[in-house]
Structure 1
Amino acid sequence: MRSLKKMGDGRLSSFKFFWSTHKWVGIIIAVVVLNFAVTGFLLLIKKQVAWIQPPENRGIAVNTFGVTFDDVLSACQSDPTLAVQTWEDVDRLDVRPGKGILKVRTANRWEAQIDLSTGEVLQVAYRRSDMIESIHDGSIVADWVRDWVLPAAAVSLMFLVFSGLWLWLEPAYRRAQRRRRSA
């Protein structure tokens, strides 16, 4: 990195300081912003793209609950793709009574859609949206990335806004002063 020009008394000019800092923070934060943009876009279109999130099916009857939790576990155990042996292998259940289905998300990111009235497995598919979300919020690396790095990235973005304003306004202010002096 080139050395910054110093003022006559050895201090850095605020413009030079903000110029250099703005440049390096911008380069570093660009990676984070690119990650947000790409994964955010994928999350926005997840309902329209079956590769990201499996489309929802409809059960035979809506607002009807004819299955028990034991039926749900048995249905999940019947499909080897899900790799479900016990409830420990299930990440979450998502009940959609209006569509007559129950979604079972497994710890290995597979999803089964089960008919709420019959207990029949309607669909088994890989669910990438949860992985994309963990990339988006940084938790795929570690929880501390989500808790510490992303807030630091937010502060860095605010710094870029304010330093960018300074880099734009300070020269304009100097030009206006020079014009007033010469007039």
Structure 2
Amino acid sequence: MKKLNSRQQQAKILRNFRKVHRITGATLFIFFFIIAITGFLLGWKNNSNGLILPKNQQGSSVELNKWLPIDSLHKNACAILHDSISPNLSLKLNRIDIRKNKGLVKFVFENHYWEVQLDGATGELLNLGKRHSDFIENLHDGSFLDTFFNNSTKPIKVIYTSIMGLALLLFTITGFWLWYGPKRLKKHRKRKS
């Protein structure tokens, strides 16, 4: 069998990279599209005027010694959520976010993306809002499927982010070679002539 010369080898590598780039792009197109749109929205969440993420309100006191106990604030937040939205909503907490400099406590709930913002000192409701950013983030990283299938260890998120991260790395390498490879071939041709 005849050995390929250097130029033919470079051309063959370029064709293979083009094929891998094309197949990977076509296969993962919808996922890259979702990641791009959700990434864009997440970048704008704090500047969305409350559409994507509820704005943090200002409480009456930033002095922690004037605040109500967390368990009292938690009970109040749960009562407000049930009274204002639905008594059937789960009260399972995702997190409690204390914003001392704003004088507020946010209770972010696990399964339905609602948050209750309370004044830390008085316990009064400052804001009740839907955290669309949490859903967008779960869509962005694939963890919404783990939530849907009730997977506590989040295996789908790990697999999804691994595949998409490796695909992006592959796109970077093949894309660079698709840009650099023809330049290298031209240089090689000029040297030969």
1:5-37 C-alpha deviation (Å, 9 max, x unpaired) = xx999x993232222111111223333332222
In 2, distance between residues paired with 1:177 and 1:73? 71
Compared CA separation, residues 126 and 169, structure 1 to 2 (3 A): closer
Corresponding residue to 1:90 among 78, 89, 93: 93
1:78 Cα deviation (Å)? 2.7
SS of 1:45's equivalent in the other structure is: helix
Query: Conserved in 2, the CA contact under 8 Å of 1:59 and 1:115?
Result: yes
In 2, distance between residues paired with 1:119 and 1:130? 24
Q: TM-score, normalised by structure 2?
A: 0.76
Compared CA separation, residues 176 and 89, structure 1 to 2 (3 A): closer
2:183 maps to 1:180: no
Q: Give 1:3's aligned residue.
A: none
1:128 Cα deviation (Å)? 1.1
Question: RMSD value over aligned CA atoms?
Answer: 2.9
Query: Conserved in 2, the CA contact under 8 Å of 1:114 and 1:123?
Result: yes
Compared CA separation, residues 56 and 84, structure 1 to 2 (3 A): farther
**Superposition map of 1:1-183 within 5 A:** 13-49=12-48, 50-64=50-64, 65-79=66-80, 80-81=83-84, 89-107=92-110, 108-142=112-146, 143-182=154-193
Q: Give 1:4's aligned residue.
A: none
In 2, distance between residues paired with 1:180 and 1:47? 55
The runs of at least 4 consecutive aligned structure 1 residues that moved more than 4 Å come to 82-85
SS of 2:71's equivalent in the other structure is: helix
1:166 Cα deviation (Å)? 2.7
In 1, distance between residues paired with 2:160 and 2:134? 20
Moved more, 136-145 or 24-33: 24-33
Which is helix-richer, 1 or 2? 2
Query: Conserved in 1, the CA contact under 8 Å of 2:141 and 2:160?
Result: no
Structure 2: runs of 5+ lacking an equivalent? 147-153
1:129 Cα deviation (Å)? 1.2
> Which residue identity lines up with residue 145 of structure 2 in the other structure?
V
Q: Percent identity?
A: 27
Moved more, 164-173 or 122-131: 164-173
1:175 Cα deviation (Å)? 3.1
Q: Give the paired residue count.
A: 175
